[in-house]
Amino acid sequence: MERAFAKLLDKHGVPWEYEPQTFVLERNPDGSVHEALTPDFYLPDQDCFIETTVARHCLTAKKRRKVRQVVERYGVMIQVLNRHDLLELAKRWRWRGLERAVHKQPY
């Protein structure tokens, strides 16, 4: 699904980077990472990170909590695109590859 989203960005000439940065939210006592978030894409022209997810809404609560924490702590912009958002983008930009990829993901 991420590959199809990347192809959509390429098709429309949108520069992007894949998982360029990990944001640490919590460390263990020994200094190792306990909790972190690595957004799927960074769009440098928009200075925005994109996190894609096709899991059920109830299963994305933890991810959304992490996104909120990263936004508050690091002052970055992160847009979460869920299954519905991705299907709407596929329809709007007429990209069947993304639509097929979203439908292939377990829900």
| Whole-number percent of the chain with pLDDT over 90 | 53
Q: Which domain holds residue 69?
A: 2-104
The reported pLDDT for the residue numbered 72 is: 98
pLDDT over 70 (residue 106): no
CATH (domain of 61): 3.40.960
CB 102 within 8 A of CB 96: no
- Residues 29-50: pLDDT tens digits? 999 999 999 999 999 999 999 9
SS3 83: helix
Per-residue confidence band for 98, with pLDDT thresholds at 50, 70 and 90: low
Report the pLDDT value the prediction gives residue 41, as an integer from 0 to 100.
98
